[in-house]
């Protein structure tokens, strides 16, 4: 897994991140989703690394990266704080500007990074996500039923009890689909109580503070200045919930949003790595 990539624990000003990086060429930062770690990219990263220097961190609160001391400290778990980690990481690695892609919860950190640091992000790819504010404002019974975990995970205490009673049963996943090493890394993460708290902090921040940052940006007329490309899983429910996914994103971007569905379930980097890698390369290599 990640043959020729380096693996390091990197101390930043506000967090310590476990980071895997390799390849050569322009920098591309890949951000994972919940409940995965950076190893979810193990099939995509080597393909993309033929053309880019690929950087895959565990987000703050996830995997083996450091956790906020208080799981209910919404500022410390916010996408704004994690965006600061991303920029600090790229500073540490010597990259002034970079390409950025985020999946699931990582897509929210990617979006916030591009909004808060517009001169740093050259291009942005969003995978299986819409802005948190859009999701909450468009919430209807179907969304609340399908995405009930958003509201449950935001509660204090009870989600930890439910998940830690049997993490493997709660999250599912299997070695054949995920790959042996990725599956083990995932299992290690979900059986660690501090990581469960860290991951839930991401949801709590989403419900209590992240959407307020989106509100402030919209009120100020702030939009993404970089090219935006959106990918969504054809076998998941993003298209069903929102219809025209690009139309949801377009008000947040100055340039025309592009994108398409990927023929996979939600964890597209694991289920359709060649298609995902091809889509990312097509977008990031285009001039």
User: What Cα–Cα distance (Å) separates residue 102 from each residue in 13, 140, 163, 188, 276?
Assistant: 22, 25, 25, 22, 12
Mapping DSSP to helix (H, G, I), strand (E, B) and coil, where does residue 38 land?
Answer: helix
Output the six-digit token pair for 126: 């969003």
Q: Is 157 a domain residue?
A: yes
> Which of 104, 185, 202, 210 does the annotation list as catalytic?
104
* Degrees, nearest 5: CA angle 272-278-284: 130
Does residue 121 sit within a domain? yes
Q: How many domains in the chain?
A: 1
Q: How many CA atoms lie within 13 A of 207 on its CB side?
A: 16
Which member of 51, 92, 191, 266 is catalytic? 266
Under the phi-then-psi rule, with left for phi > 0, alpha for psi from -120 to 50, and beta for the rest, what region is 13? Answer: alpha
Going by C-alpha positions, the residue among 163, 145, 126, 115 that lies closest to residue 257 is: 126
Evaluate whether residue 1 is within a structural domain.
Answer: no
Domain that holds residue 265: 6-285
Adjacent-strand bridge partners of 21: 6, 55
266 is catalytic: yes
Looking at residue 119, which CATH number applies to its domain?
3.40.50.1820
Residue 206 backbone phi and psi in degrees, to 5: -60, -40
- CA 184 – CA 35 distance, rounded (Å): 13
Phi, psi of 89 (to 5 degrees): -65, -45
Q: Residue 64 has what DSSP assignment?
A: T
pLDDT tens string for the chain (287 positions)?
A: 999 999 999 999 999 999 999 999 999 999 999 999 999 999 999 999 999 999 999 999 999 999 998 767 899 999 999 999 999 999 999 999 999 999 999 999 999 999 999 999 999 999 999 999 999 999 999 899 999 999 999 998 899 999 999 999 999 999 999 999 999 999 999 999 999 999 999 999 999 999 999 999 999 999 999 999 999 999 999 999 999 999 999 999 999 999 999 999 999 999 999 999 999 999 999 76
Catalytic residue check, 32: no
Question: Per the omega criterion (within 30 degrees of 0), is the bond before 87 cis?
Answer: no
Tell me the backbone φ, ψ of residue 239, rounded to 5 degrees.
Answer: -65, -40
User: Does residue 226 form part of some domain?
Assistant: yes
């Amino acid at each position: 897994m990640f043959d020729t990539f380096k693996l390091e624990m990197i101390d930043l000003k506000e967090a310590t991140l476990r980071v895997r990086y390799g390849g050569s060429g322009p920098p591309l930062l890949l951000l994972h989703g919940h409940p995965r770690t950076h190893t979810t990219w193990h099939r995509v990263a080597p393909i993309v690394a033929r053309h880019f220097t690929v950087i895959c961190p565990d987000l703050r609160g996830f995997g083996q990266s450091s956790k906020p001391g208080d799981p209910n400290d919404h500022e410390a778990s916010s996408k704004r704080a994690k965006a600061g980690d991303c920029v600090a990481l790229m500073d540490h690695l010597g990259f002034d500007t970079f390409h950025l892609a985020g999946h699931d919860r990582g897509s929210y950190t990617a979006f916030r990074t591009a909004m808060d640091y517009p001169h740093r992000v050259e291009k942005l790819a969003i995978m299986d996500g819409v802005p948190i504010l859009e999701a909450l404002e468009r919430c209807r019974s179907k969304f609340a039923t399908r995405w009930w975990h958003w509201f449950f995970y935001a509660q204090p205490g009870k989600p930890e009890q439910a998940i830690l009673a049997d993490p493997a049963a709660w999250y599912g996943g299997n070695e054949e689909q995920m790959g042996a090493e990725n599956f083990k890394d995932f299992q290690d993460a979900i059986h660690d109580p501090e990581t469960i708290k860290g991951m839930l902090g991401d949801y709590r921040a989403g419900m209590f503070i992240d959407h307020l940052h989106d509100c402030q940006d919209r009120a100020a007329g702030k939009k993404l200045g970089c090219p935006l490309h959106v990918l969504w899983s054809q076998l998941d429910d993003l298209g069903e919930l929102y219809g025209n996914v690009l139309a949801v994103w377009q008000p947040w971007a100055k340039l025309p949003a592009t994108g398409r569905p990927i023929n996979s379930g939600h964890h597209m980097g694991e289920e359709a790595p060649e298609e995902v890698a091809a889509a990312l390369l097509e977008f990031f290599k285009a001039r």
